[in-house]
Structure 1
């Protein structure tokens, strides 16, 4: 009975979180394998791997709690000339009663610096976001406000995505990027409930450095900082070890939020698979068995100048 009461409290928390997310602001999803999902947060990364690159990620958060976030994204990017890269990405995010879908095109332009040891990329993102809200999924014993009646559902509200980014990398040692996947603050207005849902601008700073420990072992610490108005600064710190360009083992810490274990395997020169598990450090960890993330990458083509194969970023 105690476990059931805890689960009901957690479900109530998700319902309240979903409603507050709709009324106040839509926030970008979080990823544990952000270091392998760079194009999602920084359009300047498009084409930087030097090959046609397909990547997909699925994340299920707070397993065991009804309405907990589920996120899926898929992207493809490639260089189309010596300096220009293009990418296409699709994103789906579900939390509680709300569902977001977006599709975006990424463009990057890269300048070689310092005798081809450094590369500076400028990126632009453009696309559409679609928001759906189904108030019929709410528990009427939790949410009693008539404004959240199913007749007030939000169906397919469109908003524009415009993003930009900078990405500076050494040929095979380090990288740092600054970006905002969506520069516009968009208001989704509902004239029935007389409420708005705001898409706020997020600012990302990402970076990492590769240390050659031995001919077989490499070590890469990495970080992701995320800032958005009205929320505390979010910080993800990770440490990854790469063995024989095949096996990746790592751990991560999301500030005051979660501890994570990371695993990756380069199946062939073209295919990489990865998995991450998050153990939640907040009170919600009492009601959940953690979060899971699955990642894959498939690449075609021969990597060109300035690219190390297989590269650690």
Structure 2
């Protein structure tokens, strides 16, 4: 039994036998929001704009409600190229509690991945009220399916139905952080159930942990602040990824410029504007990794943020 599938970002149909597709029906593969098949390309907005995307403990870290939506197009010009979208909402209702919600969707060729997560965070002030410890945990349901409309062949193939009828995967992420007016330290573990069960044992190229350290220099004049950051991401069955960059804020916190350099040989550049500390628009471009640079363009990302009842 053979079917033709336009799988991932191939321009031509790929011949796949039924037994290969059946392998995909194996239960329990660990997935992480912000990660598609391209785990080396997390959303650029997770570094400075919305750290909650990479760390559950960042939910509700600021007073008021924050809404964030981002869209990313990868490998421009290639048929079936990955397209990813994410929406997050987090709030601080009081009593040191933070609540959050993340909805994530990634489409690459015929493969469609969705993930919904809810987050509970606790923010603990230290002796100095400007120093805080943050703890957060997310519970999520993830599902992967095939787009039957793109199949060239027999869409009634039982292997396709078995793939799409798989149960949702239940996952949990844990994060913690330390913050003060200058320092931000973060650490996250993704799909912690995978450390104590068989979830994800046969899955490669998914994120296992994330760590970051940043220091904000407060300045006077046209430039308001400069925040360098180092981020380290673990990937299963792959080399860990190190990113180093900085975020520059100027013109009374209206304009910002960001840049990140990664060990995969890619560079990201971003710019954004914020209106009255309530509405923010960010644009990012991530160059392709060294090995793919001769074949395709980089990634483009746009992010919109809305801040409600934020205290100055």
- TM-score (ref. length: structure 1): 0.79
Is it true that 1:301 corresponds to 2:309 in the alignment?
Answer: yes
CA change 1:26–1:165 in 2 (3 A) is closer
The structure with the largest helix share of the pair is 1
Secondary structure, counterpart of 1:33 in structure 2: helix
Q: Which residue of 2 aligns with 1:292?
A: 300
Residue 37 of structure 1, aligned match among 22, 30, 50: 50
Residue 211 of structure 1, aligned match among 208, 211, 217: 217
CA change 1:135–1:282 in 2 (3 A) is farther
Q: Which residue of 2 aligns with 1:179?
A: 188
Question: What is the rounded CA distance, in whole Å, between the counterparts of 2:158 and 2:298 in structure 1?
Answer: 30
Is it true that 1:128 corresponds to 2:141 in the alignment?
Answer: yes
- 1:229 to partner: Cα distance: 2.5
CA change 1:284–1:152 in 2 (3 A) is farther
Secondary structure, counterpart of 2:128 in structure 1: coil
Q: Which residue of 2 aligns with 1:193?
A: none
What runs of 5+ residues in structure 2 fail to find an aligned partner?
1-8, 16-20, 36-41
- 1:139 to partner: Cα distance: 7.4
Alignment of structure 1 residues 47-196 onto 2, 5 Å: 47-134=60-147, 137=150, 150=160, 153-155=163-165, 157-170=167-180, 172-185=181-194
- 1:167 to partner: Cα distance: 1.2
- 1:252 to partner: Cα distance: 1.4
Q: Which residue of 2 aligns with 1:5?
A: none
Secondary structure, counterpart of 2:60 in structure 1: coil
- 1:156 to partner: Cα distance: 5.5
- 1:197 to partner: Cα distance: 5.5
CA change 1:163–1:139 in 2 (3 A) is same
Contact 2:97 2:120 in 1 (8 A): yes
Which deviations, in whole Å up to 9, do the C-alpha atoms of 1:266-297 show, x marking residues without a partner? 02321011000112142322232321001111
Stretch of structure 1 that moved more, 206-215 or 218-227: 206-215
| Runs of 4+ in structure 1 over 3 Å off | 12-16, 21-28, 134-140, 147-153, 186-189, 196-201
Question: What is the rounded CA distance, in whole Å, between the counterparts of 1:80 and 1:200 in structure 2?
Answer: 33
Question: What is the rounded CA distance, in whole Å, between the counterparts of 1:127 and 1:298 in structure 2?
Answer: 24
- 1:44 to partner: Cα distance: 0.6
Count of residue correspondences: 281
CA change 1:301–1:138 in 2 (3 A) is same
Which deviations, in whole Å up to 9, do the C-alpha atoms of 1:1-48 show, x marking residues without a partner? xxxxxxxxx7369979xx8x9589666421222222321221110110
C-alpha RMSD of matched pairs (Å) = 3.3
- TM-score (ref. length: structure 2): 0.79
Question: What is the rounded CA distance, in whole Å, between the counterparts of 1:188 and 1:67 in structure 2?
Answer: 28
Q: Which residue of 2 aligns with 1:270?
A: 278
- 1:151 to partner: Cα distance: 5.7
Question: What is the rounded CA distance, in whole Å, between the counterparts of 2:13 and 2:85 in structure 1?
Answer: 19
- 1:148 to partner: Cα distance: 11
